[in-house]
Amino acid sequence: MSLSEKQRVSSETCETDLDGVSELMDLLRMDLDPDGEPRKAEGGDAPCSSKNVLRKQRHWERQLAAKKSKRKEEKQRRRLNRAPESGEDRGTSTNAEDLDLIRRLFMIRCSVLEGGDADAAQFSKRVMKAITKERLAEARSTGRKLCVDLSMTDCMSDKEISRLAGQLRRLYGSNKKATRPFHLFLTDLREDSRLYQECVRMNDGFLGYAMEITEESCLDLFPSEAVVYLTPDAQEALQTVDADTVYVLGGLVDESIQKKLSLSRAAELSVRTARLPVDECMVKKNNAKNFHSKILAVNQVFDILLMFSETGSWTQALQTWFPAGKGYVISPENSARFPVEEQ
């Protein structure tokens, strides 16, 4: 082949390569209108491969917009939570103006929620979390005090330990939802104990609970004259719940039904005892198994105390939270002994 022929072939090959590159660039070119829609190619429809590229581009833009929206929501959430957290870092709680702002936002979102606004519903969770956090912080300084005595767990089986851990989780959940929460103490709880390890395993966020977890007993924290130990075997019925008294619940799950364990513990501590006014407000109800029991789980006793603290009515508290399976119902003629207390 002569030199002129070789040059001609090389020129034709280069032109072919350039035409292929040009076609590829046409396929990748995305000419968009100002409103974000692709322009149609002049003189006919865009090639199929170009449509695929445009579809991928639109999908990428939607993902980018979703990520931006998520980042914006995350910033708002951090900004809302920063106020109470910064207050704790300085050694003080959120000031009154911040709390008032949170409450006003809460009232606004209630009115918006009536219209079914989904964004307002999502915002309400952040507001409610901030209000709950403030209530629990306030309870730790001014709330009524309640201890769960966990000194009797050594005699419990692993199954009973797990059940008690679940009861403590439900107890804390009830306190979080309360409008007037208690200041809670888990006493005699060692970090190397089975119950502590089970609470950490079963209960998400246990170490961050807004309560006091201590290895000390209730008498190491409070004077004995201020303590009332609640036990179903006590002679005296509890009349009221006041701010000057520290109430103690026996943290005990006993499937073998060893009687008067909590009463013996109270005698060991030499403190006053009281029981819920079940005999005064309720009567036995006939049932197929002829079963009647006044022994309740610690979270059930706490729910009754919590409702009485908010309503002042033992009748309402027992009717709402005393388990129906225990074989007792409210006695209307006896409920007058415990009228509604003025709040």
65-86 core/surface letters (b: 16 or more CB in 10 A; e: else): eeeeeeeeeeeeeeebeebbee
Using the predicted structure, report yes or no on whether residue 215 has a pLDDT greater than 80: yes
**From CA 269, how far away is CA 266, in angstroms rounded?**
5
**82 — pLDDT class (breaks 50, 70, 90):** low
pLDDT for 195 equals 96
DSSP H/E element including 183: strand 183-187
For residue 14, the one-letter residue type is C
How many Cβ atoms from other residues are within 10 Å of residue 18's Cβ? 10
**Residue 219 has which token pair?**
């008498």
The CATH code of domain 123-276 reads 3.40.1280.30
**Helices and strands per DSSP (H, E), number in the chain:** 12, 8
Beta bridge mates, 146: 184, 247
pLDDT for 67 equals 81
297 DSSP assignment = -
pLDDT for 65 equals 81
Encode pLDDT of 140-170 as tens digits: 999 999 999 999 998 899 999 999 999 999 9
Decide if 214 contacts 186 (C-beta within 8 A).
Answer: yes
Encode pLDDT of 219-234 as tens digits: 999 999 999 999 999 9
In the chain, % of residues over pLDDT 70:
69
pLDDT for 106 equals 56
Task: Pick the closest to residue 194 from 249, 149, 155, 248 (CA basis).
Answer: 155
Beta bridge mates, 248: 147, 229
Encode pLDDT of 45-72 as tens digits: 555 567 788 888 888 888 888 887 778 7
- The reported pTM is 0.64
Using the predicted structure, report yes or no on whether residue 30 has a pLDDT greater than 80: no
Decide if 240 contacts 341 (C-beta within 8 A).
Answer: yes
In the chain, % of residues over pLDDT 90:
48
Using the predicted structure, report yes or no on whether residue 310 has a pLDDT greater than 80: yes
List the domain boundaries for the chain. 123-276
Q: What average pLDDT does the segment 72-95 reach?
A: 59
Q: What is the mean pLDDT of the chain?
A: 78
